[in-house]
Structure 1
């Protein structure tokens, strides 16, 4: 496990220059040849959190944050009043073509999925909040601030106070985002340099995740 701390800006989220702690798990992946979700893609990374085989669990007392796998799901907690938390693993995915990233999440404030991250690039996030809005965000890098691709937008596709399934798919030159199977955005495909995927948690949030599925 590798950990680090850096600062970024989240437009429309919180003040610029917040602390952003990233926990990157082991550099291996599982294509699960017997897993039957892999339709139309050559490879797949899938985690149903039945065990902590990818080492998601960590604790950061100084940041009032932790993650652990229990009861078949990932529990992800950020009690801090400022500072983002991410938990990502290396999936081995090649994002230089069509791909799909999806997961089921639930939180009491603001939580999302992260995809396309690396040690030198924070990737992209697709985040929901407790008011029924979503955000698509380029997270930046150690030397570049992040920026919104789609700022906070209200959507009736979000099920308040319950599980929501987020998915981002690239087909050709476009990204399509869905919430619970309902399309909420389509944008031009963005460059991706990393294969790490996982979850982002904003301050003062308790969240849960399940069924992380990455196909390429």
Structure 2
């Protein structure tokens, strides 16, 4: 997988070792094609993301990549040990500037320590959700925006979850649900509330990841 980046992307800047926000932008773990960084605007301790070095809009083509699946399993176990069982999700954008991508035109996959299931919350949105293995997203989404959610541990062969093909894009979909459930609705927008001090704590806590 060849690494291609753009100077206009914050995550590409991190790939190039330009740590604008100091330790917050410093990867806590790296593999040849991916890096793991804490999420800014994280109102929950231990919130991290897997980011591909390649500048692409969504993760769909990467869910079959053995390197990614192994890394996802490793990060899941590590976060569970340090902070508690995580939920995982992706806001899959299909084009630059899509609201689904939450203002970040570079694919990333979230791990958020949260022991409660979000399935009832997804049902309450009245959006159509379907059970889906992550590696099926490319065929199911057909190049459209999507939302993917998982709360079961990854295995070396698959990541089970739930998929919604987006008809009306909404920014920061899963973040808003988590904010509501944790009483953080007023600070849910990471762009207005980057919460760098909290993110820094996560970065320091996870420095032992290797």
TM-score range normalised by the length of the shorter chain: 0.3 to 0.5
Structure 2 length normalisation: TM-score?
A: 0.35
Question: Whose strand fraction is larger, Structure 1's or Structure 2's?
Answer: 1
**Larger RCO: Structure 1 or Structure 2 (Cα < 8 Å, ≥ 6 residues apart)?**
1
Normalising by structure 1, report the TM-score: 0.34
